[in-house]
Structure 1
Amino acid sequence: MSHNHVHIAKNNVKANNLVYSILLNLLITLAQVVGGIISGSLALISDALHNFSDVLSLVFSLFAHKLSRKKASIEQTFGYKRAEILAAFINASTLIIVALILIYGAIERFVHPQPIQSNTVIWLAILGILVNGFSVLLLKSDANHNLNMKSAYLHLLTDMMASVAVLVGGLLMKFYGWYWVDSVMTILIALYLIAVGFDLVKKSTKILMLFTPEHIDIKEIVREVHKVEGVGKLHHIHVWYLNEEEIHLEAHLDCPEDFTLTQFDEVLNRIEMVLFEQFGINHTNIQPEFKKEDPKDFIVQD
């Protein structure tokens, strides 16, 4: 089986930004817990709970990032390249769990409303906006090309939005005495968490389950590879993400002639360039066959 592999530049994720974000979120979590207890605001305590889940998720993201950079070994032939994908899946799942807890608490508080010290809520919400806003800026560039960092970024972004919602609620409570707003804002925050969490769970699950990347059309791959001189039928195809930087393809290839290894390597190099340049596939593993009796479908159940 012939195997080729195009090396690509790895995205340089700034792990120090995660450390700064962890410290900042610890600060705001402690402040909001104390403020929520003093003021009696469920939305503030809910925001603190969300912030604390962010601290845990950021720590996990940092650990996964460090782990993913470890080299392959005999025991781990791929290294820990999927650690960040796993972290993204777990972090997104915690977003949904936290959201459900918030909804339960908000409904309970809506049924049994309590007076809230709005001034404390307002000032701590402003602090939350500033701290989370700064953390969001720290991770924004890395979130564009790394699913693990995107999960951490989304945790922080939703925290900032939650703080904005808490601020609005605090102002309405201060000037109009609408204490029910606290519960409504909590539910709105939770629904948004479920939406963004579900999207991230879906994306990370597809990678973990070895689904074909969404932008890749296997039929189009077959059409383009069949244009290469010296190629027979491409079949028994698998395409998947190893992580966000590596797309793998393995397949069987019927050869029209009984090629020498040197001749087949020339054909393989041409196939590899087509796959990389047109589809972004940088790790190719193709089994050559000549007059072999086996299934010739594109997709064959192993």
Structure 2
Amino acid sequence: MGQHHDHKGHSHTHIDPDAGDMRVAGAIGVNLLLTVAQVIGGIFSGSLALIADALHNFSDAIALIIAFFARKIARRPADPRMSFGYGRAEVVAALVNYTTLIVLSVYLLYEGVMRFFEPEPVNGWMVVWIAALALIVDLITAALTYSMSKDSMNIRAAFIHNVADALGSVAVIVAGAAVILFGWTWVDPAVTILISIYILWHVKSEIGETIRVLMLGAPPELNPEEVATAIEQVDGIASAHHIHLWSMQEREPALTAHLEIAAQAWSEADSIRVAVKEVLKSRFDIGHTTLELELVNPISKASPRFGHDHVQDA
């Protein structure tokens, strides 16, 4: 008996959504223009690193386009078929962006290694000027998305694309300078390989959080055992079991649980439930809770504290 649902949403975005959309749209525009300039420059200068940077810049633009539409979808209200709302569109977008970064990095790694065996002449000055332009655009994009990236893994994925690209531009400038000063064409593919390794390292550090949300894992800042213990410390609670703690979307924890109420406290069951909800909200900032109340049954078999009972097929 006594199921209770709390569907209050939480907004963690500090920027007006429309203003945020304009920032992302502006970042998309400058990145697309830059991609065209870099591809043309890379072809005419013979620089693989510049083309690598252009491809990464194009992926920046794609990442931002995905992030832009994910933001739009995520703001849709919940409906009967999508009762949890559309907030996870941003988490899915982040996973798509990280996956494309992995594919891109592996491709750049391959191209860089092949260029070592078949070196080509590079026009150093053209490389330096176009990479300098790229760096300016990267810094503009970073400025547009930095504050938004703190509150959204979706925008953070696009921002990481951009930061990696800014470092790539710096590396390309170094490669161009090495050609101008010393005639070292090998620096170009070496820089390409370093860019790809850096991107892979960054993706590795960020993609786990995205997968955890999609896999309904407990938020990293919350200890499930600590949450369960806090519930059981509320007066009148004999035990808690079948506890599920997950994230509705980034920074929006949710919990469901079965609460066993001591027989002598059953008349206070509703107030006990309210007390549990207050503990969860005040101590752990869990605002979305579903609590099922049960009278203690001394002869029932023990239920798992977390997860479900597993019934094996005969």
Q: 1:178 aligns with which of 174, 184, 206?
A: 184
Query: Aligned AA for 2:191?
Result: M
Displacement of 1:178: 0.5
| Structure 2 equivalent of residue 168 of structure 1 | 174
Q: 1:276 aligns with which of 275, 281, 291?
A: 281
Query: Aligned AA for 2:270?
Result: D
Q: Unaligned 5+ residue runs, structure 2? A: 310-314
| Structure 2 equivalent of residue 264 of structure 1 | 269
Distance 1:238 1:52 in 2: 40
Displacement of 1:275: 1.2
| Structure 2 equivalent of residue 285 of structure 1 | 290
- TM-score, normalised via structure 2 length: 0.92
Q: Does 1:39 align with 2:45?
A: yes
| Structure 2 equivalent of residue 299 of structure 1 | 306
| Structure 1 equivalent of residue 218 of structure 2 | 212
Distance 2:75 2:117 in 1: 50
Q: Match of 1:259, SS?
A: helix
Query: Aligned AA for 1:30?
Result: V
Q: Match of 1:238, SS?
A: strand
| Structure 1 equivalent of residue 13 of structure 2 | 11
Displacement of 1:267: 1.4
| Structure 2 equivalent of residue 89 of structure 1 | 95
8 Å Cα contact 2:256-2:289 kept in structure 1: yes
1:39-60 Cα offsets, whole Å, 9 max, x none, are 0000000100111111111111
1:172-221 Cα offsets, whole Å, 9 max, x none, are 11101010000010000000110111222211111100011122212111
- TM-score, normalised via structure 1 length: 0.95
Displacement of 1:284: 0.9
| Structure 2 equivalent of residue 152 of structure 1 | 158
Deviates more, 1:215-224 or 1:130-139: 215-224
Q: Unaligned 5+ residue runs, structure 1? A: none
Q: Match of 1:70, SS?
A: coil
Q: Match of 2:304, SS?
A: coil
Query: Aligned AA for 1:221?
Result: V
Q: 2:245 aligns with which of 239, 243, 264?
A: 239
Aligned residues: 300
Query: Aligned AA for 2:54?
Result: A
8 Å Cα contact 2:228-2:243 kept in structure 1: no
Distance 2:307 2:166 in 1: 48
8 Å Cα contact 1:253-1:286 kept in structure 2: yes
8 Å Cα contact 1:99-1:194 kept in structure 2: yes
Distance 1:38 1:190 in 2: 23
1:238-296 Cα offsets, whole Å, 9 max, x none, are 10011014211001100013635xx3332122111211222221111111001343543
Deviates more, 1:54-63 or 1:218-227: 218-227
Deviates more, 1:32-41 or 1:237-246: 237-246
Q: Match of 1:232, SS?
A: strand
Distance 1:85 1:202 in 2: 12
8 Å Cα contact 2:124-2:179 kept in structure 1: yes
Q: 2:232 aligns with which of 221, 226, 235?
A: 226
| Structure 2 equivalent of residue 111 of structure 1 | 117
Deviates more, 1:240-249 or 1:251-260: 251-260
Query: Runs ≥4 in structure 1, deviation > 6 angstroms?
Result: none
Q: What is the alpha-carbon root mean square deviation over aligned residues?
A: 1.5
Q: Does 1:56 align with 2:42?
A: no
Distance 1:75 1:227 in 2: 37
| Structure 2 equivalent of residue 197 of structure 1 | 203
8 Å Cα contact 2:49-2:172 kept in structure 1: yes
